[in-house]
Amino acid sequence: MKRSLLIVFFFSFIAVHLQAQEQTTTINGYLVPACIYEGDTIASLRMPTLYCFKPLKFKNKKQQQRYNRLVRNVKKTLPIAKEVNRAIIETYEFLQTLPDEKARQKHLQAVEKSVKEQYTPRMKKLTFSQGKLLIKLINRETDSSSYELVKAFLGPFKAGFYQAFAAIFGASLKKEYHPEGEDAEIERIVLLVESGQI
């Protein structure tokens, strides 16, 4: 741990004192960004964030299996939550370019149809626990509950309908994500998945 902190400190120190110029250099046949420092060309590589957590200790095999299942569920649902976030941003930005409310409503109807066609087959393959996890991860990615998103784009009637439909199965579109509270374990897994550590 001390060694990794020393390495990070060293690279941070170099980065602060280098007078960066837009340069590139070749290392093992790869073109990489470089900085010129006192006449020397130094490769400037961006290191990915690595997370160090206290090792998990499981009381029994069942608890370890539950954790492994959660890892598998996060790996399956996190990409969907990120896609939803991108789609929301793109839809919102495109809606801003439309001239009037009628054009916006027409576009939203087309988006709703497209979303149903694209995601219904994928959603049917999710288990109940994966569906509930997806609702939380969408909240994590978008900073809005699924209910608020549906209400904003499709109106309060459809949001109420989808909320009632989810409630039949014991879920809630209003469920929020609390990374430092009840969802700390999920947040740990998400960070490790995003950084490629698991």
Question: What tens digit of pLDDT does each residue of 119-158 get?
Answer: 888 888 988 899 899 989 999 998 888 888 888 877 888 8
Mean pLDDT of 149-170: 83
49 lies in a domain?
no
Verify that 128 and 82 share a domain, yes or no.
yes
Q: Give the DSSP per-residue string, 80-99.
A: HHHHHHHHHHHHHHHHHHSS
Q: Does any domain span residue 48?
A: no
Mean pLDDT of all residues in 85-90: 88
28 and 74 assigned to the same domain: no
Instruction: Examine the domain organization and report whether 107 and 142 are in the same domain.
Output: yes
Tell me which of 25 and 49 has the higher pLDDT: 49
Tell me the two tokens of residue 115.
């979303």
Q: What letter would DSSP give residue 101?
A: H
User: Is residue 43 within 8 Å of residue 56, measured between CB atoms?
Assistant: no
Are residues 155 and 187 both part of a single domain?
yes
Q: Comparing 7 with 139, which gets the higher pLDDT?
A: 139
d(Cα 74, Cα 132) in Å, to the nearest integer? 11
**Residues 23 and 102 reside in one and the same domain:** no
- Same domain? 24 vs 77: no
Strand, coil or helix: 160: helix
From 6-20, 33-47, 48-62, 156-170, the region with the lowest mean pLDDT: 6-20
User: Is the same domain home to 141 and 179?
Assistant: yes
Domain presence at residue 185: yes
Based on the fold, state whether residues 70 and 37 are members of the same structural domain: no
More confident call, 158 vs 67: 67
Using the predicted structure, report yes or no on whether residue 117 has a pLDDT greater than 80: yes
Span 94-119, mean pLDDT? 84
Q: Which strands make up the sheet holding 40-43, listed edge to edge?
A: 23-27, 30-37, 40-43
- 55 lies in some domain: no
Between CA 154 and CA 159 the distance in angstroms is: 7
Which residue bears the tokens 């837009």? 22
User: CA angle, corner 39, sides to 33 and 42, nearest 5?
Assistant: 30
The number of distinct structural domains making up the chain is: 2
Residues 6+ positions from 137 with CB-CB distance below 8 Å: 74, 77, 78, 80, 81, 177, 186, 190
Q: Is residue 54 part of a domain?
A: no
How does residue 5 score in pLDDT terms, banded at 50, 70 and 90? very low
If asked whether residues 30 and 69 sit together in one domain, one would say no
**Residue 25, domain extent:** 2-43
Is the same domain home to 75 and 22?
A: no
Give the Cα separation of 55 and 57 in Å (integer). Answer: 7
For the record, the structure tokens of 122 come out as 């994928």
Least reliable range by pLDDT among 22-31, 97-106, 107-116: 22-31
